[in-house]
Structure 1
Amino acid sequence: MPAWSDRLTELGIRLPAVAPPAGAYVPAVRTGTLVFTSGQVPFVDGVIAATGKVGAEIAPEEAKQHARTCALNALAAVDALVGMDAVVRVVKVVGFVASAEGFTGQPTVLNGASELLGEVFGEAGRHARSAVGVAELPLGVPVEVELVVEVRPDE
């Protein structure tokens, strides 16, 4: 089994601290060999990195970078719960994009998350995905990402 924590180091990626929940939920939950993260927004050092709608205030390429940040925050939640090296594979990514009227590039925005997962996990990072355009997201953020990952059975 690969040591994903070593891969993060090779890539020069440091997982952020897990953002405290903004409501009555937890950042991640394990059931059996699956870990589900709560939706993660683009927090950087405890501060929202951007607000606005993609295709209006936020350019799609900028939103793609925010999706990457969201995925890093989701990985941090996984790491805090079970440790990165327990991950077997990424199963599913669900991404929400606060979209201006007429914006249809949600899949391209979510590639920011998917590409990061590919960099870190290689073939084990290939996943199913949903990319959904929405009118609004919590705190006015442009992107929110959640993950489902398979982990090793409890030992």
Structure 2
Amino acid sequence: MTTPEERIAELGLELPEVVAPLASYVPAVRTGSLVYTSGQVPFVKGEPIVTGKVGAEVTLEQAQEAARVCALNAIAALRAEVGELSRVTRIVKVVGFVASAPGFFGQPQVVNGASDLLGEVFGEAGRHARSAVGVTVLPRDVPVEVELIAELGG
């Protein structure tokens, strides 16, 4: 059985360095068997991959890719907190925030970018409850922010 780290490599991806917090918080917190990540934005090497509102400056496809990057950053924060991703027994919940232009109603489709990656990496354990919320603006004018809750075994 392949590990989540091996699946990430098979997807041609690499876990990035954990994004430095933009304010007064930590990237992840463990309490008991749960790990909560802070909201992760679509940064690659310290810079946003896209900015603007979905449905205006940002297309649905660009936003889905941004959500995927957010999820990869959340996985990196999770791994930094727990050491090995094979310790994750379940992705419990994902919350995605989508900076939306007026009249854009595709928030669930945007956050699918994150959900799909979590399924690819964690398999059945990556299936999760989820919220996809439209908002006016996000930090650094990014179009998407994603946070997650993961459960650890043994």
Tell me the TM-score normalised to structure 1 length.
0.95
AA aligned opposite 2:128: H
Deviations 1:42-84 (A, max 9, x none): 0011111111000000001110000000000000000111021
SS at 2:132's partner residue? strand
Other-structure match for 1:51: 51
Other-structure match for 1:109: 110
SS at 1:122's partner residue? helix
SS at 2:118's partner residue? helix
Other-structure match for 1:20: 20
SS at 1:50's partner residue? coil
Write out aligned runs for 1:130-141 (5 A): 130-141=131-142
Cα pair 1:2 1:85 within 8 Å, conserved: no
AA aligned opposite 1:128: A
Aligned CA RMSD, in angstroms, stands at 1.2
SS at 1:51's partner residue? coil
Deviations 1:91-144 (A, max 9, x none): 000000000001000000000000001111111110000000001111111000
Supply the distance in 1 between the matched residues of 2:114 and 2:150 (Cα, whole angstroms): 14
Gaps of 5+ in 1: none
SS at 1:104's partner residue? coil
Other-structure match for 1:77: 77
Supply the distance in 2 between the matched residues of 1:108 and 1:3 (Cα, whole angstroms): 27
Kindly indicate whether residue 3 of structure 2 is the aligned counterpart of residue 3 of structure 1: yes
Give the Å deviation of 1:6. Answer: 2.1
AA aligned opposite 2:99: A
Supply the distance in 1 between the matched residues of 2:71 and 2:103 (Cα, whole angstroms): 25
Other-structure match for 2:98: 97
SS at 1:22's partner residue? coil
Supply the distance in 2 between the matched residues of 1:60 and 1:6 (Cα, whole angstroms): 29
Give 4+ residue runs of structure 1 displaced > 4 Å after superposition.
Answer: none
Tell me the TM-score normalised to structure 2 length.
0.95
Other-structure match for 2:146: 145
Supply the distance in 1 between the matched residues of 2:137 and 2:10 (Cα, whole angstroms): 36
Give the Å deviation of 1:3. Answer: 2.4
Give the Å deviation of 1:13. Answer: 2.0
Supply the distance in 2 between the matched residues of 1:73 and 1:63 (Cα, whole angstroms): 15
Other-structure match for 1:60: 60
How many residues are aligned here? 153
